[in-house]
Chains A and B, each alone.
Chain A
Amino acid sequence: MVIRVAAALTCLVIALVLRANGVGAIQLAIFAALAVVTVLLPASAAPALVIAFAAVVMVFADGHPLRLGVLLLIPLLHLVHITSALAAVVPVRAAVAVDALKAPARRFVIIQAIVLGLAAVARLLPDGPTPAPVEVLGLGACAVVLGIVALRI
C-alpha cells in the first residue's frame, strides 16, 4: 500500500505541475483517469501512458524547452516509473520494509544527479541552430546509448 500511495502522490504532484503550466481541463481529466488506473493496476500499460501523456503535453506546450515545469517533471516521471515497477511486484497489503527501498532510492538519487547535471549543461549552451558536426556527434552518442541499452535488454 505504501508504494501505491507514493505513486498516487507523485501523480498528484505531476497534475499540479501540468495545471500550473496551463494544461487544459480535458487533458487533466485524461491524466487523472490514467493515474487512477496506474495506482490500481501498476502492472498494466497505464504507467507508460501516464509518463508519455505528461511528457508530450508538457513538451508541446508553449515555453522554453528547459523551463521549471519540465525540470520538475524529470524526477517526477522517473518516480512514477519506479513506484509503478515496484508496486507491480509487491502485493497491495504487503508490509514493505524500509531497507527494501534503500537501494532503489540510492539509484534514483544518483540518476537524478546525472540528469540534472546534464540539464545544467544544456541550459548553459547557447540557443540557435546546432552546428552539423555537433548534431552528428549527438546522434552518434544517442545510437551508442541505445545500443548499450539494447544489449542490456
Chain B
Amino acid sequence: MRHNNSLPRRINYRVNVIFTLVFLIAAAIFLLSAPEEFLPALLAGGEKAAALSLSLLASYCVWLGFFKVLEQSGLADKLARRLIRPLGKLFRSQDREALSAASQNMAANFLGLPGAPTPLGVKATQKFLAAQNGYGADMLFVLNATSLQLLPATVIALRAAAGSAAPADIFLPTLLATLFSSVLGAALVFLTRKKR
C-alpha cells in the first residue's frame, strides 16, 4: 500500500486541509453547544469503521475467492482479452494485470454484484498508482463513483417493499441518468488531464 511514499508530501496536502478544517469546525461547534456529545460521535465513527471493515472482509472473502478461480481457470484472461486494447486507451495503461482487474471491476459494477467491484477496483487502482498512472486511477475512480449499473436492484426492491405498482419503472430514467454521469465524469477526467 505504501508504494507512493517517495512522492512529495504536498500532493496529499488538500486531503489534510479538508480533514483538519472540517474536524476543527465540528469540534468547535461541539465545544460551544454540546461538549459531552463529542466523544460519543468519534466513538460512533470508530464503531462504524469496525463494522464496515467486518462486512467488507466478509464480501472480500467471497469475491476474492471467486475472482481467484476466475483468474486461474483462464476465464478472466479470455474475457479481458478483447477489452485490453480499448481499456488500455481508456486508462492509459499497458499493465495487463491492472487492466484485467479494471475490466472485471466494471463488469461487476454493471451487473450490480454487491461488494464485488470494490476489491477489484482497489487492486487496479493500486497497480495504476504504483506505475505513477494517476490518470488511470482517477478514471477508474470516477467511473465507479458515478455508478454505472444496469439494474438498480436495491431501489427496485425497496420500491416493491413500499407497495409500488410498477417498481421497475424507474429503470430507464436511472439508466439514462447514470450513463450521463459516467460519460460526463470520464470526459471531465480526460479534459483535465495533465499533458504527457
Bound together: no
